[in-house]
Amino acid sequence: MDFIEESRDLQVLEDAIRYFVNTNVQQNEHQHPRKKRITVPRDREAAHDSLVADYFSDQPMYNEDNSDHPNAAMRLGASAVQKCTAAIRMLAYGCEADQVDEYLKLGASTSRECITKFVDGVIAHFSIDYLRKPTPEDVQRLLREGEERGFPGMLGSMDCMRWVWKNCPAGWKGMYQGRSKTATVILEAIASRDLWIWHAFFGTPGSCNDINVLQRSPVFDDIINNRAPQVQFTVNGNTYKKGYYLTDGIYPKWSTFVDTITAPQTYKQRLFTKRQESARKDVERAFGVLQARFAIIRKPALAWNVDML
């Protein structure tokens, strides 16, 4: 009988211990849930070989001996060709970051970092040639082109373009929403006939109109501070020392703006309006070519801050 009672007590004790252990484990799991990290196997080596065979087989852009380096797990990471191709695809096609995973075997976070580094590299390399103000030689060329088109003294066409911002933070939507009820960011630009955008001012909320953008824009800072290149031309016997820009009717009636006539009545007014609208389409055409070459601008922006855009 004593043996049976001791066995029964041991069984009760084991059940009690098992109950308390299971209870504590369940409580710990409820209080501190742990998610198992999922590692997605990506065959980056095969993706690189396929990419080189498709696009770079004749003259490879990079040498695999010095472009690929093993990571901490002693596996080759994504090659420079894969990273640059991911950035170019996102810029040219406007695809999302995770869409390049199917062919290039790159995750969304890696693709976003690639496009950031790629654009930074482009700006660092080409900003000296393109992201600059016109030199005196450029000004003379612009004046010569304008005079050939019947507008002596014209330096370019000025207008604004709106870029839809899909991932605009909820707290900022009221500031960035315009009449279209969608969040947009405004780009102000001045373009010449050869599609050279020599002035670009980006980041104004979409709730502003072109006049509000103009008030914030630094386009006339050089004129105010007497740093602008000297411009001199003659029209109808009158000599002028400041160039002008072709705009639409919303811009203020400043001497540096030449806008169209809203309701032309005479033949002279209709002829001027036709020529002015024809020449002012330079900036509209520049926006169209910009969106055609880089579809990422044509589609809603997926970034989370204006600096990234």
Residues 40-89 pLDDT 10s? 777 788 888 877 777 777 655 444 444 455 555 556 678 888 899 999 99
Interatomic CA distance for residues 50 and 81, integer angstroms? 11
Whether 142 and 155 have beta carbons less than 8 Å apart is answered as yes
Query: Which pLDDT band, with edges at 50, 70 and 90, does 132 fall under?
Result: confident
pLDDT at 3 over 50: no
Q: Quote the tokens at residue 296.
A: 């990422």
Q: What percent of the chain has pLDDT over 70?
A: 83
| 3 three-class SS | helix
User: Model-level pTM?
Assistant: 0.71
Span 130-159, average pLDDT: 90
> What is the band of 275 on the pLDDT scale with cuts at 50, 70, 90?
very high
Cα separation, 261 vs 221, in Å, equals 28
Mean pLDDT rounded to a whole number for the chain: 83
Tokens linked to 61: 């852009």
* Alpha-carbon separation of residue 158 from 127, 132, 210 (angstroms): 21, 16, 10
Higher pLDDT, 37 or 1: 37
Residue 202: its pLDDT value, please? 93
**Contact criterion met (CB below 8 Å) for 197 and 213:** no
Buried b (16+ CB within 10 A) or exposed e, 194-212: eebbbbebeebbbbbebee
Q: How far apart are CA 292 and CA 273, in angstroms?
A: 28
3: tokens are: 């043996």
